[in-house]
Structure 1
Amino acid sequence: MAHIYLYSPSGAVRDKAGFRRALKRLQAQGHDVEVDPAALASHQRFAGDDDTRLAAIERAAASGAQVLLTTRGGYGLTRLLHRLPYEAMARSVEQGAAWIGLSDFTALQLAALARQGMPTWAGPALMEDWAGEQEPDDIMQACFDDLITGVGEGTGWRLPAADFKAHPWLAGEAGWAAEGAVLWGGNLSVLCALLGTPYFPAVEQGILFLEDVAEHPYRIERMLTQLLHAGVLGRQRAILLGSFNRYQLTPHDRGFNLQRVIDWLRGQVSVPVLTGLPFGHVPTKVMLPVGRPVDLYVQGREALMFWGD
């Protein structure tokens, strides 16, 4: 199977039992799992101080592993963006390495894309997806396996009925397509934090996907407004929304919820806003090739995305 290198570029791993459980699961699948020496380091809320986490990324880039998998997200990578070993990371990709993660990992992904045009994968993280007491999600595991075996060529999902009320032309016989568009995005909060910096990719006519966790809908709208006023949203061919979860509405909201935000967004842009993308801080997630051209097709209620050669 695969040589997997586990490293911790962001938050500290507190659940040591979950870490061991996740490690055993990957090993039971036949993978050669190499654990970075600082994977369980701790400094304040981080997996070691900045130098420690930077050294872990450098070791990952030099490991020769097929898969470079983060242990978890949290916070910490934006502190390192001006020091990342971009050339070494890009060389590892040229040699066949896949950098995989989500959440705070979005900072590394977008910075690598902006600085080197380097593709990465939005996908699972060790603690998020293999450490729980329940078995890993079947779809997540299948998508991960497809990447490792080199047979992954795309993904798909069923669009909610609300998407057709907002975009009735999607239901036409001809459907809708965006071909050869660069897929990019990730965690909305992290992405917005990079706006106006050298680490924000200047993607034109791309497909932007977004997700977030523990952010109230009004904060989600505020971040989308920032991207709107900065001209980012209007320069895309489509906006894909994954999971936005683990937030709490209050009586003060008076009906202001996530769907209201989506409705508002659709009134601000002329491109399709498609929901239901199986990605985010949820068990069922697909693999997404950040920084690579993809073909997106909508036919009926089926959305299909292809990136295979």
Structure 2
Amino acid sequence: MPTRRTLLISGASTIITALLSPRAMAAQRRLKPLKPGSRIRAVNPGTWMDPDTDLQALRERCDQQQWHLEIPAAVTRQWRYFSGTDQERVEDLRSAWNDPTVDAVVTLGGGWGAARVLEAGFRFPRHPKWSLGFSDTSSLLLAQWAAGLPGAIHGSSGGTEAQWQRTVDLLCGRPVAPLLGEPRRRGIARGPLVVTNLTVATHLIGTPWLPSLKGAILVLEDVGEAPYRVDRMLTQWRSAGLLQQLAGVACGRFSWAEDDILPGDFTMDEILEERLGDLGIPLVLNLPLGHGRPNQALPLGAQAQLDGKHGLLSLMA
């Protein structure tokens, strides 16, 4: 028969395990930084790419770091408007993630299709890996963090040299500079980062692949969406009770063609502030990330501080 002490220890262990959610446990696990000799596998889970796409710049950037970049022929495969059937793309991701010699997975292309890979059965293995992407790839980054795996970086392998250097620094475990935006609501927020394309994340509401936002700092960006459509999406988030869980919220670039705006319409900044400014938490707009340049990289799940008075988003050691 168990002793009282045994029962107490067992009970405490159960409570501690329950308190440590997959994301909390992931925060305690650190990935090994990339180093010379690290292997990177390119994948394309979305829209097909032109076979003549010039990837030499990415090869040269990886060569400069002495990383071995693998670009399988599958990245330029085509099936309808995807880079292969759903099952082919699932197998591409499984191959990259299950290969113990691959240290990082970088997404090429974009468009649409990554969420279909999740729906078609791709699941992240239990071991973490670095991954890099944005836009349509946001669904995979969010699912990676929802699965309790660190290493998802919202960013691009393109852009300026300064932008790329920030990405390299994150992959190599080095500190990076704070990002400066425009302050809208004062206050200091601290919590894990959840960085995503708004449209992609909106279509993950109600699925297992949208991670918990409780106590998080949410960073949103989008492209090609008029203010009324951004309004509609943020209203969905509000109605679902998701924004009310946040510690802070920031927005990157919301790029769109302003030729269809009518007198009296909301501007993009106005609708973002109108939908996000009454939450009682720090709010910062126009961080230097998203579609366009610069697209500064941020790691999902990393502990960060959002300073709503000065418009600063900083990663915490």
TM-score tier (shorter): 0.7 to 0.9
Matching residue within 217, 237, 243 for 1:207: 217
1:99-126 Cα deviation digits (max 9, x unpaired): 1110111111222333x22224333344
- Max radius of gyration: which structure? 2
Alignment of 1:81-230 (within 5 A): 81-88=118-125, 90-91=126-127, 93=128, 97-114=129-146, 116-126=147-157, 129=158, 136-152=159-175, 154-160=176-182, 163=183, 166-167=184-185, 170=186, 176-179=187-190, 181-230=191-240
Is the CA contact (8 Å cut-off) linking 1:106 and 1:190 kept in structure 2? yes
The Cα shift of 1:78 comes to 1.4
CA contact 1:209–1:242 (8 Å) conserved in 2: yes
Q: Aligned in 2, Cα 1:123/1:13: closer, same or farther, shift over 3 Å?
A: same
Unaligned runs of 5+ residues in structure 1 are 130-135, 171-175
1:301 aligns with 2:285: no
Q: More deviation in 48-57 or 294-303?
A: 294-303
| 1:280 shift after superposition | 0.8
Deviation at 1:17, TM superposition (A): 3.6
Once superposed, what is the RMSD of the aligned Cα atoms? 2.3
Return closer, same or farther for 1:15/1:239 CA change in 2, 3 Å cut-off. Answer: farther
> Structure 2 vs 1, CA of residues 307 and 57 (structure 1 numbering), >3 Å: closer, same or farther?
farther
Whole-Å separation in 1 of the counterparts to 2:104 and 2:263: 43
CA contact 1:189–1:212 (8 Å) conserved in 2: yes
* Aligned structure 1 segments of 4 or more residues deviating by more than 6 angstroms: none
Any idea what SS the aligned residue of 1:86 has?
coil
Residue of structure 1 in register with 2:69 after alignment: 33
The answer to which of 67-76 and 27-36 deviates more is 27-36
Change in CA separation of 1:71 and 1:253 when aligned onto 2, cut-off 3 Å:
farther
- Take 1:264 and 1:60, find their aligned partners in 2: how far apart are those partners? 42
TM-score by length of 1: 0.82
Q: 1:12 to 1:125 in 2, by over 3 A?
A: farther
Q: Which amino acid aligns with 1:259?
A: D
Contact 2:305 2:314 in 1 (8 A): yes
Query: What is the CA–CA distance in structure 2 between the aligned matches of 1:65 and 1:283, rounded to whole Å?
Result: 29
Q: Does 2:78 match 1:46?
A: no
- Cα distance, 1:259 vs. partner? 1.8
The CA deviation at 1:25 is 4.2
What count of residue pairs does the alignment treat as equivalent?
Answer: 280
Q: Is the 8 A contact 1:3 1:34 kept in 2?
A: yes
Deviation, structure 1 residue 224: 0.7
Tell me the amino acid that sits aligned with residue 35 of structure 1: I
Any stretches of 5+ residues in structure 2 without a counterpart? Answer: 1-35
Structure 1: how far apart are the matches of 2:311 and 2:262? 36
